[in-house]
């Protein structure tokens, strides 16, 4: 291997190691805010169809044959990492602006919490990144912080969660 190839290989290895560090930070964040539940729980509001979850906020769909079965901590960790990776894969590397890994991971954390449909359909932040609305960092942060309510009331845990995500998004690589 030539010295230039070795340098490229070392740089790529360092980039992957940095991504893994950021992912581990995000996984710890999910554990903190989602909490672990071995048993299925329903998060639907009164009058809504049931929305069942277990583990670290893993959605259980009606067609899942194990929807009424408890989950082990190991299985919950596996599902959490898989779910987070799916959220990360849903965030393109380029919108109208190029995203760094901190930004991609912060958006993936947000998607993990609110869901991809809300991110795409209801998020002004998504509209800013896709060019539907002009991108403005200050407004972007303000819109992100609006997602801190439960049933229309400010939720301190969600405010704290959003602040962490915003901090990660605006962290310099």
Identify which of 44, 48, 32, 37 has the alpha carbon closest to the alpha carbon of residue 112: 32
DSSP secondary structure letter of residue 58: E
Residue 8 has what pLDDT? 72
Examine residue 66 and state whether it is found in any structural domain, yes or no: no
pLDDT at 38 over 70: yes
Tokens of 117: 């449909």
Structural domain boundaries, residue 129: 3-34+90-169
Residue 137 has what pLDDT? 87
9-18, 65-74, 102-111: least confidently modelled range: 9-18
Examine residue 20 and state whether it is found in any structural domain, yes or no: yes
Residue 6 pLDDT class (50, 70, 90 cuts)? confident
Q: In total, how many domains does the chain have? A: 1
Examine residue 81 and state whether it is found in any structural domain, yes or no: no
Examine residue 143 and state whether it is found in any structural domain, yes or no: yes
- SS3 for 110-168 is HHHHHCHHHHHHHCHHHHHHCCCCCCCHHHHHHHHHCCCEECCEECHHHHHHHHHHHHH
Task: Report pLDDT digits (tens) over 72-131.
Answer: 999 999 999 999 999 998 887 778 778 899 999 999 999 999 988 888 877 888 888 887
Examine residue 72 and state whether it is found in any structural domain, yes or no: no
Q: Residue 21, Cα to own-chain centre: how many angstroms?
A: 15
Examine residue 124 and state whether it is found in any structural domain, yes or no: yes
pLDDT at 169 over 90: yes
Examine residue 146 and state whether it is found in any structural domain, yes or no: yes
Examine residue 73 and state whether it is found in any structural domain, yes or no: no
């Amino acid at each position: 291997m030539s010295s230039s190839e070795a340098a490229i290989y070392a740089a790529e290895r360092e980039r992957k190691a940095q991504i893994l560090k950021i992912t581990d930070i995000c996984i710890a964040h999910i554990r903190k805010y989602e909490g672990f539940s071995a048993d299925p729980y329903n998060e639907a509001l009164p009058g809504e169809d049931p929305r069942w979850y277990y583990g670290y906020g893993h959605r259980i769909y009606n067609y899942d044959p194990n929807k009424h079965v408890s989950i082990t901590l190991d299985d919950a960790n596996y599902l959490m990492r898989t779910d987070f990776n799916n959220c990360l894969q849903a965030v393109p590397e380029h919108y109208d602006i190029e995203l760094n890994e901190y930004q991609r991971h912060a958006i993936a954390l947000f998607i993990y919490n609110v869901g991809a449909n809300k991110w795409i359909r209801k998020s002004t932040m998504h509209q800013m990144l896709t060019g539907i609305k002009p991108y403005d960092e200050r407004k972007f942060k303000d819109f992100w912080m609006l997602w801190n309510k439960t049933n229309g009331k400010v939720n301190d845990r969600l405010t704290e969660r959003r602040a962490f995500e915003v901090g990660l998004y605006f962290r310099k690589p």
